[in-house]
Amino acid sequence: MSQADIPVNIQLFGVGILKSIIIRHIAPLTADAVLDKLPLILRGRFSFGSQKYWTIPGIEIYKGLNQSANNQLIKGDIVYNPKTDELIIILEDQIFPHKVNKIGEVLNNIELVQKARNGLNTKISKEKKKIK
């Protein structure tokens, strides 16, 4: 983990917490726009019956694609989809129908998302710094 990576928690209410990082250098404008909105509490859901990704719609940052936008996604990627203004947590390797901006990665507990139900409140917040 680089010093520029920002640790965040993704809390699935009643299910658990995913430790994650926002990797600013991949898509700095999009990552900063998301970080400026934190903490976010929105309802997450699976993508129309498929359990290939968990989507959190209504982010309201409206950033376009960046130069490193990609459609080949890996399990654990956190991406922003500018076409639908949503954050997406990728649950299995896949090729997306269009390009999205990768902004981070889930570091652990990604299997907890499979226990979630559609409409579950999902909170994304910066990890609190520990005082030494």
CA distance 124 to 79: 14
The answer to the question of residue 112 being in a domain is yes
Mean pLDDT score, 48-65 = 88
Give the confidence band of 47 by pLDDT, cuts at 50, 70, 90.
confident
Structure tokens at 103: 């902004």
The answer to the question of residue 93 being in a domain is yes
The answer to the question of residue 28 being in a domain is yes
- Its domain, for residue 19, covers 5-126
Residue 43, pLDDT score: 96
Question: What string of DSSP letters covers the chain?
Answer: --TTEEEEEEEETTTEEEEEEEETTTSHHHHHHHHHH-SEEEEEEEETTEEEEEEEE---------TT-EEEE-TTEEEEETTTTEEEEE-S-EEEEEEEEEEEEE-S-GGGGGG--TTEEEEEEEPPPPP-
Structure tokens at 58: 């209504």
Reported pTM = 0.93
The answer to the question of residue 131 being in a domain is no
For residue 97, give the CATH number of its domain: 2.40.100.20
Letter for the amino acid at 10? I
Q: What is the mean pLDDT of the chain?
A: 92
The answer to the question of residue 68 being in a domain is yes
Residue 50, pLDDT > 80, answer no
**What is the domain count for the chain?**
1
Residue 122, pLDDT score: 96
Mean pLDDT score, 22-45 = 94
Give the confidence band of 132 by pLDDT, cuts at 50, 70, 90.
low
The answer to the question of residue 132 being in a domain is no
